């Protein structure tokens, strides 16, 4: 079947299998491999993207459900010469070690800060990132980075 969606501001029409997942569309059809597949069981959050303004796990959304949606991936928020403030905060706070969880962490953190109204404390950040796992266990610096990004935006 054919679906049309907006990805990082550009309209895309993709032919997909009925049982394709959004993450397959992003990685395989559109070549946007910044969105990672970690656990593939909805637990780790490496695949988090924004869909119609909400952070979602793209390994647990069917491609058909994303038909007509507005999707933003890690590739859509900044670039090496012009990092998103959250990316800048992750760099400044050494909030990534192997980097595998980082795209999902950053997409979740942006949604968290945008909806947090500037009122997030450490506990709220830790609770808000419940759905993102870092197997390097680098959580302390990730939380520091999210709080720093909240202050800078």
Partner 1 sequence: MYQFNYHRPSTLDEARSLMAGAEDGVYLSGGMTLIPTLKQRLASPSDVIDLGAIPGLTGVTVNDGTVSVGGMTRHSEVAASEAIPALADLASRIGDAHVRNRGTIGGSIANSDPAADYPAAVVALGATVHTTNRSIAGSDYFTGLFETALHDGEIVTSVDFCVPDAAAYEKFPNPASRYAVVGVMVARCGDCICVGVTGAGACAFRATALEEALAADFSPGAVDGVGIDHSEYNSDIHASAEFRGHLVGVLTKRAVATIA
Give residues in contact with partner 1 (CB under 8 A).
Answer: 1, 17-19, 21, 40-43, 45, 48, 54-57, 60-62, 64-65, 67, 108, 111-112, 128, 130-131
- Distance in Å, CB of 55 to partner 1, minimum: 6
C-alpha–C-alpha distance, residues 26 and 66, integer Å: 11
- Distance in Å, CB of 17 to partner 1, minimum: 8
- Minimum CB distance to partner 1 smaller for 69 or for 96: 69
- Minimum CB distance to partner 1 smaller for 7 or for 23: 23
C-alpha–C-alpha distance, residues 114 and 109, integer Å: 8
Burial 121-135 (b: 16+ CB within 10 A, else e): eeebbeebbeebbbe
- Distance in Å, CB of 82 to partner 1, minimum: 27
Does residue 27 contact residue 15 with C-beta atoms inside 8 Å? no
């Amino acid at each position: 079947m054919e679906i049309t969606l907006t990805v990082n501001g550009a309209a895309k029409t993709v032919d997909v299998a009925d049982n394709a997942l959004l993450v397959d569309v992003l990685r395989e059809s559109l070549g946007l491999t910044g969105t990672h597949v970690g656990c593939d069981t909805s637990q780790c959050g490496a695949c988090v993207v924004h869909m119609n303004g909400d952070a979602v796990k793209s390994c647990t959304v069917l491609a058909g459900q994303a038909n007509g949606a507005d999707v933003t991936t890690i590739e859509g928020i900044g670039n090496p010469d012009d990092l998103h403030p959250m990316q800048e905060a992750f760099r400044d706070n050494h909030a990534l070690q192997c980097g595998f969880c980082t795209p999902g962490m950053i997409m979740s953190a942006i949604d968290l800060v945008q909806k947090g109204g500037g009122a997030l404390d450490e506990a709220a950040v830790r609770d808000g990132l419940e759905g993102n796992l870092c197997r390097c266990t680098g959580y302390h610096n990730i939380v520091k980075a999210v709080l720093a990004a909240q202050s800078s935006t």
